[in-house]
Chains A and B, each alone.
Chain A
Amino acid sequence: MAIIDLANPTRFMTLTDRLLPWLWGVTLLVLGCGLYLGLFVAPADYQQGETVKIMFIHVPAAWLAMFGYGMMAASALGTLIWRHPLADVAAKATAPVGAAFTLMALITGSLWGKPMWGTWWEWDARMTSVLILFLMYLGLIALWNAIEDPIKGGRVGAVLILVGSVNLPIIKFSVDWWNTLHQPASVFRMGGSTIDASMLYPLLICAIGATLLFLTLSLMAMRNEILRRRIRALRLVAAATPVGVSA
């Protein structure tokens, strides 16, 4: 079966029905291993002490906040250029999951910032741009809920997603472009990671586990969105059918 065949919502539902139990199993296994290594095996940082343990959830959450919006931007292109039947569904289903991971990044960052920086919040470029990302997620969810027709809502949402995607490079490079309180990139950078392997591997395993969790939740939400559209279509058919005649 070619990848393009998954564009058929019925095939997508059948495939994800089989895939989701396995995906849940792998997610729990990888995330469980990552959190165990992060909490019980990785050493305390020489500067941050045990507070570094917050990084094993904060960093993956922050990466996935951007990854989720990136997925939505790719879906928006699929909606506007190829009119892919699942692209709009994917964008709409990913938004609440992305918003949740962005909120997680903001709260865990704040809980790390208070003991380390002495403040819960600072209006610096990185934190402000991530807060804007969170507000964009909420704005898109509100927009989709405000427009009755999902096709029309999908196209309007897709345009807004692409306009908002300008925020992604701002988030990524904010620590380089401006003088911020937030530390610069320490994992994916020219010259290699600055993190010791004893902390880097648990962090990467946590990131893989959190990514699997993100994808699993997004696939579940996509299945719901397909079902919601089918119900809407059936109701429209039922409303247009004279009483006593089967739809």
Chain B
Amino acid sequence: MIEALGPHAGFILAAYAVSALIVLVVLGWILLDGVLLRRQMRDLEARGIRRRSARKAAAKASDVKAAS
């Protein structure tokens, strides 16, 4: 396979390897950032700090539960 790429195989393989590495680093950074942010959000919600829409949804759910 490598011989089939000719005398410049090293340059071709390096180009593909570097590109894959750059994409993986960006993807890894985005995934890790997302995990950390969701954890922070859960911590805030566990302390009772919620967005207005989340509070309304929670209140509506408890009203429905009480009515039934």
Contact of B37 among A44, A50, A111, A228 (CB under 8 A): A228
Question: What 9 A-B pairs are tightest by C-beta distance, nearest first?
Answer: A50-B6, A115-B8, A247-B49, A227-B37, A111-B15, A108-B15, A54-B15, A100-B26, A238-B49
Is A104 in contact with chain B by the CB < 8 A criterion?
yes
| A contacts, CB < 8 Å to B | 10, 44, 49-51, 53-54, 57-58, 61, 96-97, 100, 103-104, 107-108, 111-112, 114-115, 213, 217, 220-221, 223-224, 227-228, 230-231, 233-235, 237-238, 246-247
A231-B44, A235-B44, A247-B49 known; A221 and B30 CB under 8 Å?
Answer: yes
Q: Is the interface of B mostly helix, strand, loop or mixed?
A: helix
B25-68: CB near A (< 8 Å → 1, else 0) gives: 11101110110011011001001111101000000000000000
The answer on a CB contact under 8 Å between B22 and A103 is yes
Question: What are 24 pairs between A and B in contact, CB < 8 Å?
Answer: A44-B6, A50-B6, A51-B8, A53-B12, A100-B23, A100-B26, A104-B18, A104-B23, A107-B18, A108-B15, A108-B19, A115-B7, A217-B27, A217-B30, A220-B34, A223-B34, A224-B30, A227-B37, A227-B38, A227-B41, A231-B41, A234-B44, A234-B51, A238-B49
The answer on a CB contact under 8 Å between B44 and A224 is no
Between B4, B15, B18, the greatest number of chain A beta carbons within 10 A of the residue's beta carbon is seen for: B15
Chain A residues, Cβ within 8 Å of B9: 50
